Amino acid sequence: MATAGGGRVLNEKIGLFENGYHFDALVIKPSTLGNLRVWPDMDTPRDILEKIVSLAQSCDIDSVWVQGKKVR
């Protein structure tokens, strides 16, 4: 992962799913309020990722973790 390499250069514990490393994440769930629609029978995992990156809005964010703590 590019983030892990950057973490090594900066001497930061980021970019790996290991104990002691920082953990920030979003759980995205498509919402009827936004533009993000996922069709499980038609969309490949790549299609879904591309839709999340280009179409997800704040209403599609279900949960948020910052530094390993759930904040939303």
Q: What's the pLDDT band for 4 if we cut at 50, 70, 90?
A: confident
Q: Which residue has the higher pLDDT, 30 or 62?
A: 62
What sign results for the dihedral spanned by CA atoms 33, 36, 37, 41?
Answer: negative
What pLDDT was estimated at residue 55? Answer: 93
The Cα 41–Cα 59 span in angstroms is 23
Report the pLDDT value the prediction gives residue 15, as an integer from 0 to 100: 86
Q: Rounded CA gap, 10 and 68, in Å? A: 20
Please, what is the average pLDDT of the chain?
89
pTM reported for the whole predicted model: 0.68
64 vs 31: CA distance, rounded Å: 16
Q: What's the pLDDT score for residue 67?
A: 85
Query: Could you give the angle at the alpha carbon of 62 between the alpha carbons of 59 and 66, nearest 5°?
Result: 115
- pLDDT at position 30: 84
